[in-house]
Structure 1
């Protein structure tokens, strides 16, 4: 739960849209309730509405797992 809260707070610092995808489901990553509606035991994909990929990677480094 602490990781989801930390992730949500990081997303809220961005002015762009931030969506999380789990399979066929998408939720607003700035919504803590949306995050908790997903199966957090499975990998999630963050779709950030920004071209600054480096800033996203740096901000969310603790959550990124390369496959």
Structure 2
């Protein structure tokens, strides 16, 4: 729960679109209810509409799986 809140807080700082995808479902990652509507046991894809990939990677590094 705390990790989702931390993730959501980072997302809310962006003025651009920040989405999570799992399979065919997309949700606004700025919406905590949207995040909890996903199966968080499955891998999620983070989509950030930003030109600064390095900054995005740094902000979300604790949540990325390689």
Specify the alignment match of 1:38 in structure 2. Answer: 38
How many residue pairs match? The answer is: 66
Name the Cα RMSD after superposition.
0.5
- Which runs of structure 2 are paired with 1:6-45 in the superposition (5 Å)? 6-45=6-45
TM-score w.r.t. the length of structure 1 is 0.96
Q: Which runs of 5+ in 2 are unaligned?
A: none
Following superposition, the deviation at residue 17 of structure 1 comes to 0.5
Specify the alignment match of 1:49 in structure 2. Answer: 49
C-alpha separation in 1, matches of 2:56 and 2:35? 18
TM-score w.r.t. the length of structure 2 is 0.97
Following superposition, the deviation at residue 51 of structure 1 comes to 1.1
Runs of 4+ deviating beyond 6 Å? none
